[in-house]
């Protein structure tokens, strides 16, 4: 009787397991909803000599928000297929781009292969400056101090080139702390499903589509992430190259490196980027930055500084230089809920020397901004 009962129980359990396995194999991918919302209030004091720009001493409210739809499934052979669609939730009338990123990925022992609108390998694997504020290296300073140049206070200038353009990207598994990645985008235009077109409107200076962004964006990167006791070391080196020429007939390229070393609650970081053959009036661009952060429990504080230079391609004009700094802090109220704040400073010298003609400006800008707000992640 006991043997019969055990056999019957085993058969029932096996039947339930088989039914669940079959159901898992036939159940379609279930989407999950997530995202984030940031709401900021800040006061800016800006002394600007930029054309058409008045001095600023005023309060502003800004936000950034996205809704993410994600889903994945794993096959019997171990391959994982997934989807990620990120919708803009800011409700801005200044842009018709309602979808920020949308891509499909496949993961396995080979790493991850991604197809769709997402960041290139060099940008995705770059270790920039650490911050517990709203972010200097992320580009937020120029949102608050009008007249500054976003590209002169971020060490991840890959994003300006092929950010969110349709591409194929591969990132390897991490082995002994080392990871490599490659990506290719047929053209740098974001969310463009059209076939790359060659136009002849400005063909006298090259063979590419000169009325749009550069085409043929190849990127590669290697980074390292490992811990030795209480010390964590992260380092990255990435490059990006355009196989087609820009408005000046050049083929731009970008390289960037980053290093972050953590000692318990402290971390120091440094990052550098170089863009060559930028185009228009700029020959090259360099940005160097450093950061110090401290985090203990729910509290974090940080300090960032950057220095950027645009090397002018116009004879008789000086280089455009810019200093940027951020003192930041955060307090985690609970998982997914943080209060953050930043004190920004920027000083931009557009490089115009000598007397300024009537009705024109030298473009110099100097200012502070005090910003605080809430970041929610769900």
pLDDT tens for each residue of 74-108? 999 999 999 999 998 875 544 566 888 999 999 99
- Name the range with the highest mean pLDDT among 150-159, 253-262, 310-319: 253-262
26 within a domain of the structure (yes/no): no
pLDDT of 236 over the 50 cut: yes
Q: What is the pTM of this model?
A: 0.81
Query: Taking the alpha carbons of 286, 292, 295, 300 in that order, is the dihedral positive or negative?
Result: negative
330 within a domain of the structure (yes/no): yes
Phi (first) and psi of residue 162, to 5 degrees:
-130, 25
Q: Which residue has the tokens 């058409």?
A: 52
222 within a domain of the structure (yes/no): yes
- Name the range with the highest mean pLDDT among 18-27, 185-194, 206-215: 185-194
What is the average pLDDT value for the chain, to the nearest integer?
Answer: 82
Whole-number Å distance between alpha carbons of 263 and 294: 10
DSSP output for 112-162: EEEEEE---HHHHT------SSS-TTTTTHHHHSTT--GGGS-S-TTHHHH
pLDDT digits (tens, 9 = 90+) for 113-169: 999 999 999 999 999 999 999 989 988 898 999 888 888 888 987 655 677 889 999
71 within a domain of the structure (yes/no): no
User: What total of structural domains would you count in the chain?
Assistant: 1
Reported as a pLDDT band with limits 50, 70 and 90, residue 190 is low
Domain extent, residue 140, equals 39-63+121-201+211-377
> What count of residues does the chain have?
378
22 within a domain of the structure (yes/no): no
Average pLDDT over residues 186-208: 55
310 within a domain of the structure (yes/no): yes
CATH number at residue 310: 2.40.160.10
Reported as a pLDDT band with limits 50, 70 and 90, residue 362 is low
Whole-number Å distance between alpha carbons of 57 and 209: 42
78 within a domain of the structure (yes/no): no
pLDDT of the residue at 198: 53
pLDDT digits (tens, 9 = 90+) for 191-200: 666 556 555 4
91 within a domain of the structure (yes/no): no
């Amino acid at each position: 009787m006991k043997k019969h009962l055990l056999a019957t129980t085993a058969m029932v359990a096996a039947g339930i397991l088989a039914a669940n396995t079959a159901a898992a194999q036939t159940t379609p991918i279930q989407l999950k909803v997530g995202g984030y919302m940031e709401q900021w209030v800040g006061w800016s004091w800006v002394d600007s000599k930029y054309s058409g720009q008045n001095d600023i001493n005023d309060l502003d409210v800004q936000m950034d928000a996205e809704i993410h739809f994600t889903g994945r499934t794993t096959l019997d052979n171990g391959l994982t297929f997934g989807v990620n669609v990120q919708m803009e939730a800011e409700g801005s009338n200044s842009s018709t781009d309602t979808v920020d990123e949308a891509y499909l990925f496949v993961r396995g022992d080979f790493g991850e292969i991604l197809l769709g609108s997402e960041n290139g390998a060099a940008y995705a694997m770059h270790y920039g400056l650490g911050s517990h504020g709203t972010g200097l290296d992320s580009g937020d300073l120029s949102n608050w101090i009008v007249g500054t140049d976003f590209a002169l206070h971020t060490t991840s200038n890959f994003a300006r080139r092929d950010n969110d353009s349709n591409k194929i990207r591969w990132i390897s598994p991490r082995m002994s702390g080392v990871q490599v990645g490659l990506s290719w985008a047929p053209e740098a235009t974001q969310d463009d499903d059209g076939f790359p077109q060659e136009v002849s409107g400005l063909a006298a200076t090259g063979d590419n589509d000169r009325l749009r962004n550069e085409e043929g964006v190849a990127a590669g990167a290697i980074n390292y992430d490992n811990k030795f006791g209480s010390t964590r070391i992260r380092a990255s080196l990435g490059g990006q190259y355009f196989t087609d020429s820009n408005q000046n007939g050049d083929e731009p390229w970008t390289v960037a490196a980053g290093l972050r070393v953590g000692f318990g609650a402290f971390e120091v970081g440094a990052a550098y980027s170089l863009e060559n053959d930028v185009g228009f009036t700029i020959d090259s661009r360099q940005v160097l930055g450093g950061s110090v952060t401290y985090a203990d429990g729910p509290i974090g504080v940080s300090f960032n500084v950057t220095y950027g230079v645009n090397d002018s391609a116009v004879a008789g004009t000086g280089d455009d230089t810019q200093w940027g700094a951020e003192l930041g802090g955060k307090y985690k109220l609970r998982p997914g809920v943080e209060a953050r704040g930043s004190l920004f400073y920027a000083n931009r010298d557009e490089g115009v020397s000598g007397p300024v003609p009537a009705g024109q400006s030298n473009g110099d800008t100097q200012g502070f901004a005090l910003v605080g707000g809430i970041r929610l992640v769900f």
